Amino acid sequence: MSKASYYTPEGLKKLRDELKRLKDIERPKASQAIAEARDKGDLSENAEYDAAKEAQGMLEMKIAKLEDTLAGARVIDESQMDTSKALVLSTVKIKNQNNGMEMTYTLVADGEADLASNKLSVNSPIGKGLLGKSVGEVAEVQVPNGIIKFDVLEISR
């Protein structure tokens, strides 16, 4: 049973494109590798055959996981979103109370997270701490060496 996860239309398209690539390109390659290894003789001592079968198993696992993710994927209608609280797809400006540093992140689903583009997973420690917070509230984030407090300065779409 897959749990619901929320994506932008672009993020959902990326997932579908990746699944199509795995099924249409990688799966036939794996089958071909198994066939070539099988043609080389005795399967009981054929390390190439074992490696090809293992690679195929890993590929099928990846495909199944992606299909499960897509089964629970939902596209977010940004026009219906509440801007009073930090939610998935909210852009949140925060300030670290310890060092005064200000940062702006967009909260996204796991599959779309990319720290280089300031896209933070809602399942990351900071993402979890920000979810449901409003401007003026303090988000407390548990990290290995204690708790970091962030002031929520601004929330937008």
Q: Pairing state of beta strands 146-156 and 138-143?
A: antiparallel
Q: Are residues 65 and 20 in the same domain?
A: yes
pLDDT of residue 86: 86
Among residues 55, 75, 95, the one where a domain terminates is 75
CA atoms of 21 and 25, how far apart (whole Å): 5
Q: Are residues 96 and 150 in the same domain?
A: yes
CA atoms of 26 and 19, how far apart (whole Å): 10
pLDDT of residue 78: 62
Q: Are residues 71 and 101 in the same domain?
A: no
pLDDT of residue 1: 47
Q: Are residues 124 and 57 in the same domain?
A: no
pLDDT of residue 25: 94
Long-range contacts of 81-85 (CB under 8 A, 24+ apart): 81/157, 83/155, 83/156, 83/157, 84/134, 84/135, 84/155, 85/132, 85/133, 85/134, 85/155
Q: Are residues 90 and 150 in the same domain?
A: yes
pLDDT of residue 77: 65
Tens digits of pLDDT across the chain (157 residues): 456 677 778 878 888 999 999 999 999 999 999 888 888 777 677 788 888 899 999 999 999 998 988 888 877 766 666 667 888 888 899 999 989 999 999 988 877 888 899 999 888 899 899 988 999 999 998 888 889 999 999 998 7
Among residues 45, 75, 105, the one where a domain terminates is 75
Gyration radius of the chain's alpha carbons: 22
Q: Are residues 68 and 82 in the same domain?
A: no
- Residue 15 and residue 69 in contact, taking contact as beta carbons nearer than 8 Å: yes
Domain count, the chain: 2
Q: What is the CATH number of the domain that holds 45?
A: 1.10.287.180
Q: Are residues 105 and 151 in the same domain?
A: yes
pTM of the model: 0.60
Q: Are residues 84 and 28 in the same domain?
A: no
Q: How far is CA 93 from CA 45, 81, 106, 113, 126, in A?
A: 59, 17, 9, 17, 12
Dihedral over Cα of 64, 67, 71, 74: its sign: positive
Q: Are residues 97 and 150 in the same domain?
A: yes
Structural domain boundaries enclosing 20: 5-75
Q: What is the CATH number of the domain that holds 124?
A: 3.10.50.30
Among residues 60, 75, 90, the one where a domain terminates is 75
